[in-house]
Structure 1
Amino acid sequence: MASASRDGTPGRRREGGNPRSSDSNNARGKASGKGAASRGAAGKKGAFAGKRGKPGAPGQHPSSRKPHRKGSSHVDVESGKIRLNNSKPARNQIANGEGEGATYVADGMRLQKVLAAAGVASRRGAEELIAAGRVEVDGEIVLEQGLRINPDTAIIKVDGARVVIDETKQYLALNKPKGLHSTMSDEQLRPSVGDLVAERVMAGQRLFHVGRLDADTEGLLLLTNDGELAHRLMHPSFEVPKTYLATVRGEVHRGLGRVLREGVELDDGPVRIDKFALLEVHQGESLVRLTLHEGRKRVVRRLLAEVGFPVIRLVRTDIGPVALGKQRPGSIRVLDNREIGALYKAVGM
């Protein structure tokens, strides 16, 4: 059985070839029966030797990287045994995955994240499935957390059925220019976000924007067809922070940050910011940066106007872990795996 250390590096495999049979129940029996005994003996000399700093078996990949996640050794195995498997099995089940076993890929994606992206379970749920011996990679059951794999080439099975890696999901970052409305189509035929992604929509991609920016506000807007992620990013209970650069009329004093952090009463309730920085004061105007997790309509403009500094220009630069950077106005870029994974982590997926 494959055993991976906390940094995702595989340990020593058992002698005797592929432990996986075609019967998924039999495989789980091995995980809880004979496999458990062999893990107790071989695991101490192989996979777990690296954790104590002792040399492992030949073929191991020692690593000094930070452990996968604090507390991952306390994954609930019993919950994993009864957890529902929400994956959609692949139509083509010809590939049996009987190869050389799970292969560690240094820059790959952690197995639990791959399973979460495929809709099998949440990331925590995927960890429970792994711990319960229900997940197989390239013909080998993986029991330890954090194994890094190449999701494009690895054959992954849960309960004996091959898992579909959903390649239809889209995650895009748009730098919305001023004057563009945050709608996919506008009844009054005004310029909208939908105009920038018209070709993608015509090609069959169903995209929608995560949150809104008013027409006068520029900056980062996320586009996706991942409904669950979009819902969580917009829901106030997940408190995903958003950062803005605001040019305001008037010379801001440094005490304004304290006022905004303590809270300001608006007509629809109080608003508090998380962070504030005064960046520049010049000729009766000020440039400030503020971070908050509010999502109410025009909340930044209303907040600054309420304290006496009306907004001249407003740009959203960050949504959670995703930053606008040097992306030019009107351009769209595809989020990389690191950014997508960070968004999932930010909303507990």
Structure 2
Amino acid sequence: MSEKLQKVLARAGKGSRREMETFISAGRISVDGKTAFLGDRIEGSEQIRLDGHIVKLKPKEDDLCRVIMYNKPEGEMCTRKDPEGRPTVFDRLPPLENSRWVAVGRLDINTSGMLLFTTDGELANRLMHPSQKVEREYAVRVFGEVNEAMLQTLRAGVKLEDGPAKFQKITYKGGEGRNHWFHVVLSEGRNREVRRLWESQEVQVSRLIRVRYGDMEMKRQLPNGGWTELALAEVNYYRKLVGLPVETQSKVKVDEKVMDNAKSRRIRRSVKKHQQRSQQATRRRR
């Protein structure tokens, strides 16, 4: 049975399906020596090249879906390489053979918290797509006076430059003076949407942390800059959430504890070593 070219490329770990559609439109993909076009379908026996390099295809049955939860610190870029040499969210992820990690959405450089990565481009695409209405929850510290009329406006919706937007839920979490914490929920992930919604009410966001994606919350013991691979049941939660078939295998051992104090300490040590190596590399470049 034939499949869409962008879907096959995403499964091969070359990026999300959206990214592959962009590559195809830019003429970077060829099939059996001919430039590919959006809408092309393949059987799987064709020779596919990306920027002239042969792409090793993965049969459906050989493709193991893996998902990582990463606690992104402020100051990291959601890109594979930064021209200014700033740290990226991909720097510490475990290496893969004949595949690569695909980020499920982005967090801007000043936003921290829960960021998912997967080897399954189709899963990443569906989790990001607005049609799936997957909830994202953020802890937000705002600076400025906030009244009930503003909150009602943010719940009802405001018009941003790229279309209408609103928070599905807003929950007050306390504060002092002009600094207040709220938890807000969205079901899409447009660029800087949380910040722009608050700014529409002339309120400044001074801290922004993603704390939940779908029904899964950031693991409390996962340190800043640390990652952990999700167990089979957790992977299948996300797959079922967006209508994909469940996985039957996992790289995570069945009896492995998801997160305990000992594992948290190991991750912290690993993060510290990585930071030290990064600082040494930065000093050498200077």
Aligned residues: 188
Q: How does 1:64-143 map to 2 (within 5 A)?
A: none
137, 140, 146: which one pairs with 1:246?
A: 140
Is it true that 1:294 corresponds to 2:188 in the alignment? Answer: yes
Report what 1:347 is aligned to.
Answer: 242
Residue 317 of structure 1 and its aligned partner are, at CA, apart by 0.6
User: Counterparts of 2:226 and 2:99 in 1: how far apart (Å)?
Assistant: 18
164, 170, 173: which one pairs with 1:270?
A: 164
Q: How does 1:218-257 map to 2 (within 5 A)?
A: 218-257=112-151
Contact residue 183 and residue 193 of structure 1 kept, 8 A: yes
Is it true that 1:181 corresponds to 2:77 in the alignment? Answer: yes
Contact residue 166 and residue 197 of structure 2 kept, 8 A: no
Residue 335 of structure 1 and its aligned partner are, at CA, apart by 1.1
Report what 2:92 is aligned to.
Answer: 196
RMSD: 2.2
Structure 2 residue matching 1:245: 3-state secondary structure: strand
User: Counterparts of 2:174 and 2:99 in 1: how far apart (Å)?
Assistant: 42
1:336 to 1:255, Cα distance in 2 relative to 1, 3 A = farther
TM-score, scaled to structure 2: 0.61
Structure 1 residue matching 2:90: 3-state secondary structure: helix
Residue 321 of structure 1 and its aligned partner are, at CA, apart by 2.3
Residue 279 of structure 1 and its aligned partner are, at CA, apart by 0.9
Structure 2 residue matching 1:194: 3-state secondary structure: coil
Contact residue 140 and residue 182 of structure 2 kept, 8 A: yes
Higher strand share: 2
Contact residue 129 and residue 188 of structure 2 kept, 8 A: no
Structure 1 residue matching 2:154: 3-state secondary structure: helix
55, 68, 71: which one pairs with 1:172?
A: 68
User: Counterparts of 1:191 and 1:308 in 2: how far apart (Å)?
Assistant: 31
Report what 1:19 is aligned to.
Answer: none
Is it true that 1:285 corresponds to 2:179 in the alignment? Answer: yes
Structure 2 residue matching 1:258: 3-state secondary structure: helix
User: Counterparts of 2:123 and 2:60 in 1: how far apart (Å)?
Assistant: 19
Listed as ranges, the gaps of 5+ residues in structure 2 are 4-58, 245-286
Q: How does 1:16-55 map to 2 (within 5 A)?
A: none
Report what 2:206 is aligned to.
Answer: 312
Contact residue 239 and residue 293 of structure 1 kept, 8 A: yes
Contact residue 138 and residue 209 of structure 2 kept, 8 A: yes
Report what 1:210 is aligned to.
Answer: 104
Runs ≥4 residues deviating over 6 A: none
Q: Which amino acid aligns with 1:179?
A: G
Q: Which amino acid aligns with 2:174?
A: E
Listed as ranges, the gaps of 5+ residues in structure 1 are 1-83, 87-162
Please tell me whether Structure 1 or Structure 2 has the larger radius of gyration of its CA atoms.
1
Identity over aligned pairs, percent? 36
TM-score, scaled to structure 1: 0.50
